[in-house]
Amino acid sequence: MIRIDSVTKRYPDGTVAVDRLSLEIPDRSITVLVGPSGCGKTTTLRMINRMVEPSEGTILIDGVDSRQQPVNTLRRSMGYVIQNAGLFQHRTILDNIATVPRMLGWGKEKSRSRARELMERVGLDATLAKRYPYQLSGGQQQRVGVARALAADPPVLLMDEPFSAVDPVVRKGLQDELLRIQEELGKTIVFVTHDIDEAVKLGTMVAVMRTGGKLAQFAPPAELLSRPADAFVEDFLGADRGIRRLSFFPSAGLDLLTAPIVAVDATAEQITAAGAADTPYLLVTDADGRPLGWSEPRDLTAGEITADRLLPYGRPFVAVTDSLRAALDCAVLSPTGWAVAVDTSGRATGVVPQQAIGEAIRGAHAQTAADEARDAEPDEDGKAQKVAP
């Protein structure tokens, strides 16, 4: 565990970047520091590995004061990832990743073998090993940066807005990759971002900091969205925090309808049976069950169903694993107001109208309120139970 105890960073001109900050960063989790520019996020991160020295307070790593060990030893025990990767332009990708193991005295072949292993882990093709950073895309460079930070298998990984310089599509892919790697490796990650959506998606715990380096709230994402500590946190979370909160409600309870699904090569009898489902639209799939689009029942004729005559279905959500937010987004994007559920292979497993998703959302809110009320009831010792996020 990393414990930040009443830490202040004050510069010679009197500027206070971080003001009496106290945090307990749990092991094997992602703790996100988020807040507006100038709130001390990056300064806090750099004080953990002593790139910036605190003016007051202590930072304990597994109970040991970070100042009790040589600074180079401390830094080599922590991976560090920054914007634009910070790669050595004169070294190949393989040698970039092998940098820290070589510094630690590993042999050349052992270091490169480790680098090849990590290229695969972060989703980099082995053919990129002999290329140089300028020959890679921004997203590929960031993957190299993550691999390099993991090369010596450090227990702690510090990440300073590592994905902010890439486009939204690449950024989502990098976020998903980080979550996958974290599930496999279980590092203690401290992640800095200014993007609340990124913080909510990645964070096990989220620390919202206000200008002047003060902690505004430290909580799991679901609790942060449902119970902001004050007006500042509520304003920072934005007007659509209710939509973000739906990310924590699973779609598993949705009642999916399968009757209104018909294949593009359906017979007249099958079309008639689907039309009897008493729904305003039927979902047409290809022969493998993948969705093609919507059609009104009266417009379907056996042998004459063509994709160019169908209404678009927006985008599907993955049944069970995706959230109610994803399901609602799919329904809103669909011109019919119906969402399409698919399995992991992309085959349609059912459809659900926006109204049913709304009912599921109301039910999820009611269940959460009931759970919180139950957890807040006194236990046998007369103490309130811990409220679940």
CATH code of 232's domain: 3.40.50.300
Q: How confident is the model at residue 302 (pLDDT cuts 50, 70, 90)?
A: low
Do 272 and 234 fall within a single domain? no
Residue 365 has pLDDT above 60, yes or no: yes
Query: Do strands 282-285 and 291-295 pair parallel, antiparallel, or not at all (unpaired)?
Result: antiparallel
Do 57 and 123 fall within a single domain? yes
Do 136 and 170 fall within a single domain? yes
State the Cα–Cα distance between residues 196 and 322, nearest whole angstrom: 20
CATH code of 278's domain: 3.10.580.10
Q: How confident is the model at residue 382 (pLDDT cuts 50, 70, 90)?
A: low
DSSP string, 8-26: EEE-TTS-EEEEEEEEEE-
Please tell me whether residue 165 adopts helix, strand or coil conformation: coil
Q: Can you give the pTM of this predicted structure?
A: 0.84
On whether the CB atoms of residues 350 and 257 are closer than 8 A, the answer is yes
On whether the CB atoms of residues 224 and 232 are closer than 8 A, the answer is no
Q: How confident is the model at residue 385 (pLDDT cuts 50, 70, 90)?
A: low
State the Cα–Cα distance between residues 80 and 303, nearest whole angstrom: 60
Do 235 and 266 fall within a single domain? no
In a domain, 377, yes or no: no
What is the pLDDT averaged over residues 226-232?
Answer: 93
Q: Which of 214, 229, 202 is closest to 32 using CA atoms? A: 202
φ, ψ of residue 289 to 5 degrees: the values are 90, 10
Q: Which of 334, 285, 289 is closest to 313 using CA atoms? A: 334
DSSP string, 332-343: HHSTTSEEEEE-
Do 222 and 325 fall within a single domain? no
Total domains in the fold of the chain: 2
Q: Which domain holds residue 286?
A: 261-361
β-sheet bridge partners, residue 261: 283
Q: How confident is the model at residue 266 (pLDDT cuts 50, 70, 90)?
A: confident
Residues 221-232 as b/e (b if ≥16 CB within 10 A, e otherwise) read: bbbbbbebeeeb
In a domain, 27, yes or no: yes
Average pLDDT, the chain: 91
Residue 229 has pLDDT above 60, yes or no: yes
State the Cα–Cα distance between residues 147 and 86, nearest whole angstrom: 12
Proportion of the chain above pLDDT 90, given as a percent: 75
In a domain, 252, yes or no: no
Q: What is the pLDDT of residue 383?
A: 59
Instruction: Burial-class residue 183 by CB neighbours within 10 Å (0-12, 13-18, 19+).
Output: exposed
Do 52 and 138 fall within a single domain? yes
- ∠ CA 144-66-85, nearest 5°, is 15
In a domain, 152, yes or no: yes
Q: What is the pLDDT of residue 381?
A: 63
State the Cα–Cα distance between residues 143 and 133, nearest whole angstrom: 11
pLDDT: is 370 or 182 the higher one? Answer: 182
Query: Do strands 348-353 and 338-342 pair parallel, antiparallel, or not at all (unpaired)?
Result: antiparallel
In a domain, 57, yes or no: yes
- Only one residue has tokens 């202040």, namely 8
